[in-house]
Amino acid sequence: MIGAAPIIELKGVGKVYGTGTPVANTVLHGIDLRVRHGEFAALIGPSGSGKSTLLNIIGLLERASSGEYLLDGRPVSALEDAQLTRHRSRSIGFVFQFHHLLPAFTALENVTLPILIRDGVVSAQERARARALLAQVGLSDAIDRRPGQLSGGMQQRVAIARALAANAPLVLADEPTGNLDTRSSDDVFALLRRFNHERGTAFLVVTHDSRLAARCDRVIELTDGRVIRDQQIRVPA
DSSP-derived 3-state class of residue 224: coil
Helices (H) and strands (E) in the chain, counts: 7, 10
Q: For residue 104, what are the contacts with CB-CB under 8 A and spacing of at least 6?
A: 146
Q: Is residue 7 part of a domain?
A: no
What DSSP letter does each residue of 23-77 carry, written as one string? T-EEEEEEEEEEEETT-EEEEE--TTSSHHHHHHHHTTSS--SEEEEEETTEE-T
Question: What pLDDT shows up at residue 8?
Answer: 95
Question: What pLDDT shows up at residue 194?
Answer: 87
- The DSSP symbol for 112 reads H
DSSP-derived 3-state class of residue 206: strand
Tens place of pLDDT per residue across the chain (237 aa): 566 789 999 999 999 998 878 888 999 999 999 999 999 999 999 988 999 999 999 999 999 999 999 999 999 988 888 888 888 888 899 887 777 899 999 999 999 988 888 888 899 999 998 999 899 888 999 999 999 999 888 888 898 889 888 788 999 998 887 777 788 788 888 888 988 998 899 999 998 888 889 999 999 999 999 999 999 987 655
Q: Is residue 28 part of a domain?
A: no
Q: For residue 13, what are the contacts with CB-CB under 8 A and spacing of at least 6?
A: 28, 30, 31, 32, 33, 54, 57, 64, 66, 67, 68, 69
Total domains, the chain: 1
- The DSSP symbol for 123 reads -
Q: Is residue 15 part of a domain?
A: no
Q: How many CB atoms lie within 10 A of CB 103?
A: 8
DSSP-derived 3-state class of residue 99: coil
Residue type at 98? F
Range of the domain at 165: 39-55+80-232
pTM of the model: 0.87
Give 151-155 contacts, CB < 8 A, sequence gap 24+: 152/99, 152/179, 152/180, 152/184, 153/180, 153/181, 153/184, 153/187, 153/188, 155/99, 155/101
Q: Is residue 29 part of a domain?
A: no
CATH of the domain at 224: 3.40.50.300
Whether the Cβ atoms of residue 113 and residue 124 lie closer than 8 Å to each other? no
Q: Report CA-CA distances (Å) from 83 to 79, 118, 121.
A: 6, 12, 20
